[in-house]
Structure 1
Amino acid sequence: FEVQTWYSAPYPEEYSQHKILYICEFCLKYMNSSYISHRHELKCQYKHPPGNEIYRSSDGEISIFEVDGRQMPIYCQNLCLLAKMFLNSKTLYYDVEPFLFYVLTENDNEGCHFVGYFSKEKVDTGNHYNVSCILTLPIYQRKGYGNLLIQFSYVLSRIESKTGTPEKPLSDLGLLSYRNYWRLTICYELRNFSASNMAANTRQRRTLSLHSIAMNTGLMVNDVVTTLESLKFLTRDPISGNYAIRVDEEVVSCTIEKWELKKYKTIEESRVIWAP
């Protein structure tokens, strides 16, 4: 397939001066002619990203691979150059060793085809970032893959018993995707909370708080507050000045129903094989 890029990337001059850049969808090697690309296709040994497969959906249609920037620097550098053509805020190209890359693929008999990825630093520097950069190729957008990658990043955070947030600044599409994910995730959490409390007796009922929402979802408290405000679920007592969470169940139901009608794929958490 041929894709129109959005921004320029710092490929070597002998490649960037061509109108069309050919990229192998398996190893991400870049080439400047269709002849070289065809020759490479015949002998490329890659049929999936060069890392550990840490997730495969139950139907086998999608996988996520963890690729270490230190172990596979060329692949990861090529991935960053590819991302730069669709992300204006992308600045990392060659210093990939401190990062892990989580590559999403669609699978068929020919191999695991690159769909998108996110990266994150191996060592938490104290900012609690669980994503440094995130991208879904334009031809795979509007299929729910951006939401799936975001969901996976928070699954990893919860496995680590941490909360996380994406590194800023986000692209316009990235910010929109995260806001949609946060709204949906908090609506699911509020619905589950309401259902469990209705089923429990008085002594077993839980208390809803910003901290409990954050720990159950993996979201940072600041992101929880921002999302509750956007949903108009936070109210302030004019006398005491204290805030309370007031849930509109109709908004919760409509948000979830609208999402589920799209029938996008989501992460089956029991199928994630990963440890910090």
Structure 2
Amino acid sequence: MAEQMLSEITEGCRLPVLRRNQQNEEEWPLAEVLGIKEQNGRKQYYVHYVDFNKRLDEWVTYDRLDVRRMQIPRKDAKTPTKNGSGSCSRPGSPDREMVVCPRPFLHFPHRDRPTNCQVNWHAWEPPSAATAPSLCEEPAGSIPKSNPSSQNGGSRRPLVSMVGRKRKALSMPMDEDSQDSSDSVPAVPLPRQTGSLVCDKSHDDIVTRMKNIECIELGRHRLKPWYFSPYPQELTSLPVLYLCEFCLKYFKSLKCLQRHMHKCSLRHPPGNEIYRKNHISFFEIDGRKNKNYSQNLCLLAKCFLDHKTLYYDTDPFLFYVMTTYDCKGFHIVGYFSKEKESTEDYNVACILTLPPYQRKGYGTLLIEFSKSL
């Protein structure tokens, strides 16, 4: 019976999955199975919790699935393809039919509570003030401003406001002699076709919906990625991906990283230091002159930005990296980027505070610095 139920779980089906919220309470939200793998002779299922942020997606074992209320996708329905062709919006999941399966009672051990990143807006204070916010976002056209609905790790995904952008007022000239002038609707601007705001049609395919990096070691921090990042395929099966915290080059083992550190001459981001106060510095990096560093920075940022589309074409951009200084060098805290020539006069293309430095005021400092340039 157990083997029969295991065979019925396929990619695309939906069923309740056990998870614990920040109050350590058990809940059974509906989740969609995106991938299946076998590790150490035991099957694991990659699930996306419906209406939850993608950063909460995870691999789970069979004992956390409620197969009695499984919804199997219909065979005649269209499913997302791996080539990513189609519109820029997330492809809808096909219609499902309910399948009821008997299931014995199972005991579930306690699970770690997921964490969530919340954006809050106040004046920037020194890093010692824990109440100050951070910001992690990627622009994708015009995004309406919204406040997070809850501090719960299982809250519905919030929209991120486009802070730090200079917007131009839209003027819609009306012809007074036109018969449609009284009830005409302003035309919706088309998506951008250049720069970091270009609509990425491959973003919502099956491959990019799944996190591919398990863990990243960056200096003294170990980071758990939130989203997919296009690192080389041979590195995605490693338990830990090692990064040089100064040049951001990636390695498959700690020994390779240690050998690199003996040769790496950088102790700060490449480029010019344009600001310093106490232990905080900003470096300006040209995406054309420092292409390797800029590409590695974008790969790292994609792990924590869901809608980031810029990876390799860094020539049109300037990157401003914020660091903290100690006796070992300048350690990256976050960054923002901007186009060298922006037709819309935007002053920010992408902005991110790394997770270890969030909720300490660095995000607001990044925003204020971008406005001052």
TM-score bracket for the superposition, by shorter chain length: 0.5 to 0.7
Q: How does 1:12-23 map to 2 (within 5 A)?
A: 12-23=232-243
1:48 equivalent to 2:268? Answer yes
Q: 2:354 — aligned with what?
A: 137
Per-residue deviation at 1:43?
A: 2.0
Does the residue aligned with 2:245 lie in a helix, a strand or coil?
A: coil
After superposition, give the CA deviation of every residue in 1:227-263 in whole Å (9 maximum; x if it has no partner).
xxxxxxxxxxxxxxxxxxxxxxxxxxxxxxxxxxxxx
Instruction: Report SS of the residue matched to 1:153.
Output: helix
Q: Equivalent residue for 1:95?
A: 313
* Paired amino acid for 2:354: L
Contact 1:49 1:65 (C-alpha < 8 Å) held by counterparts: yes
Q: CA offsets per residue over residues 125-179 of structure 1, 9 Å max, x none?
A: 1x121100001100011111100000000001xxxxxxxxxxxxxxxxxxxxxxx
Cα distance in 1 for residues equivalent to 2:294 and 2:311:
8
Identify which of 338, 342, 362 aligns with 1:124. Answer: 342
How much has 1:120 moved relative to structure 2? 0.4
Q: 1:93-139: per-residue Cα shift (whole Å, max 9, x none)?
A: 000000000000000111100110000000021x1211000011000
Indicate the SS of the match to 1:70. coil
Q: Distance in 2 between matches of 1:70 and 1:36?
A: 27
Give the distance between the partners of 1:113 and 1:121, measured in 2 at CA.
24
Distance 1:20 1:131 in 2: 31
Whether contact under 8 Å (1:10, 1:16) holds in the other structure is no
Alignment match of 2:291 (pick from 67, 73, 76): 73
Task: Specify the SS of the correspondent of 2:222.
Answer: coil
The aligned amino acid for 1:22 is: Y
**SS at structure 1 position matched to 2:262:** helix
Name the count of aligned residue pairs. Answer: 153
Higher radius of gyration, 1 or 2? 2
- Name the counterpart of 1:155: 372
| CA-CA distance at 1:15 after TM superposition | 1.6
What is residue 256 of structure 2 aligned with on the other side? 36
Look up the SS of the partner of 2:223 in the other structure: coil
Whole-Å Cα distance in 1 between the matches of residues 235 and 304 of structure 2? 17
Deviations 1:45-95 (A, max 9, x none): 1100001000000x2x01000000000000000000000000001110000
User: 1 CA distance for matches of 2:345 and 2:237?
Assistant: 40
Q: More strand per residue: 1 or 2? A: 2
Q: TM-score when scaled to structure 1?
A: 0.55
Counterparts of 1:155 and 1:11, CA distance in 2: 34
The 1-side partners of 2:360 and 2:262 are apart by 30
Q: CA deviation at 1:42?
A: 2.2
CA distance in 2, matches of 1:152, 1:64: 9
Q: Aligned partners of 2:239, 2:269: CA distance in 1, in Å?
A: 27
Q: Kindly indicate whether the alpha-carbon contact (under 8 Å) linking 1:77 and 1:93 is maintained by their aligned counterparts in 2.
A: yes
> What secondary structure does 1:131 align onto?
coil
Instruction: In structure 2, give the amino acid aligned to 1:133.
Output: C
Q: Secondary structure of the equivalent of 1:113? A: strand
Task: Give me the CA root mean square deviation.
Answer: 0.8
Aligned partner of 2:259: which letter? R
Out of 216, 222, 226, the position equivalent to 1:2 is 222
Where do 5+ consecutive residues of structure 1 fail to align? Answer: 157-276
**Distance in structure 1 (CA, Å) of the matches to 2:242 and 2:332:** 14
The answer to whether 1:114 aligns with 2:332 is yes
SS in 2 for 1:37: helix
Report the Cα distance in structure 2 between the residues aligned to 1:39 and 1:75, rounded to whole angstroms: 19
Give the 3-state SS of the residue equivalent to 2:289 in structure 1.
coil
SS across alignment from 1:27: coil
Q: Distance in 1 between matches of 2:363 and 2:235?
A: 29
Structure 2 counterpart of 1:182: none
